[in-house]
Structure 1
């Protein structure tokens, strides 16, 4: 699903574009809107976006200037420009800068929006494919890795780009499991440390900025695991900072605090409303933002964290399932067993036996 940001100083125009286009049909979702380039940049610091539909002529910061800034800050961000101009002078400038298409607002009511979005969707796919799968991209990948004494086969390029896209979703900042999985996949793919740095360092800076944290110095590293360890320490530093923060003005910090609250109270009854109160948010606003930043609902996150904690307890030599259930917040043992099975594909007893046989318990 491609995430779309609509940028236009005319609120009615924004509403019209959002309502007229069959976004879901072409795997797109409007994740936000802004009335000028400055607001768009603010939105981009805290949200992951794949495509920006931006008006060329706006106060404060126009679409062309926004494109220029994003080409440096978010080089993989795609643009579709919106315009009233008939001579398309500005449109041509935008297309030369890399915009994949344009929409004439004067003609929107007269054209088939379904067909228009289908055309744009194809261009998005072509642009991503060109970026990730062409011979030139493969050569660039090989050159980068040769400098580190490694060579990544060209056919792995698409796999690498998909992995980078998962990193860009930023769910790893809030979910330990996602972070561990991405680190493991990054190690398995076998690319160079410099290429990992190029892809992930901007995301680390984005995480710092969204949480209001000063830049963390990068230690000298020579291997991929060194950089990933630095990223892990940065992540831990963000949570330490969030724990000390008393001014709950930034949503990312609020979500971090809620994540910590869940982990600290797994043995208790956990509800979205009570957790929201801990960070001074309404239940509905908290629930929407929790899923937006973490990638799953609050309820599902609690389930996953409880099962994760249960796994650790099951690794002990002398523990009973009946004792573990209440320790991770389940008074009903049978319900705990059902949840554990749903998430792992085995019962707690089976999981314990497997770990005992493998020598992990």
Structure 2
């Protein structure tokens, strides 16, 4: 049973989520509630929790602060973020910290409860190894030349091994973990076992047969752990449904993925938001190589893809550049690359429906990214057009056609949208917020804010928190 803790400063939200959602149908049980991050940490110390649902904006200790602390104290804890739809940057930070999903409160309707829990349950199953001890795991293998492992990357469902294998003399057959099995037989019987296993691959979805060499003088525990680690790292990238047999040596180098550097993540994001990769094979292949070179774990890769899709849709969903759809689950890099290919085709088709070249579309995207990532600077259409080597009048025309707003309208809009997040999720002063979104005059900022929202910043904060 997956034990669940709900953390939200709104008692009605906590009670509603606890009582309304069909937890039992997904082998989940709500074992506690907390009204802020500090109380949540106290609860985590007192009893085990497998899954924590946490709000981001809370008194005493915010959800982001709670995630930082919980990640250090309880690295196995799964975290899902409860959020308002405006919390774009905070969701990105939560995903970077390891959240496996997020739930927008405004979308919590009865007909979606089952879908939300099914999605979370699927992700937990996909990121969690079922630990199964092998008998005599400290015994050293001295008799067997190879070990054969049939591994399924499908973590959504349980597969029962039903095929009848010919019994072999001195055969060792173990279940390594859920949906993963291993065999070892004397050398003179290996050919027969290999052909039987190869023929059985079509019985198990997304399966691969590993032929593992250099196994002698290793304990069975070492062999089992090597298979587990290989499955979670290298196999994720090596899997190909058209080539399901993979010879691999236990002498192979470090199979663990390294912690990605911020500059590597930023480089991938910059490449994604450039237009050329969707129009030219060479740039597409460079982007794919950048992804693969990081060797991210599945959870890390999911977080990166989520942040890319969310940022794209945040910037372009309401424009002629269009929305892109998230890949909701994947078990291998093969599936991820198929999704990237489809996404590239969709972006390319949208671009081709405009009257502008890929280079001009790329320039407008760059302008949007520059302004978005440095709101404190007072960028102008004239300055950016010069930086991008385009005439001011043509830049202004292209920008309005592609983004649906003039540059000045767009600049004001995104600054006000960012200020809304600050107002709802921080206790900072109006002057502090105004400076962070590029306004040095608090009164002028308040006037702009009221023109776009109909409310003063203080009224918006009071109303937003009151509704919450």
Q: Which TM-score applies when normalising by structure 2? A: 0.29
Tell me which structure has the larger Cα radius of gyration: 2
- Which structure's residues are more often strand, by fraction? 2
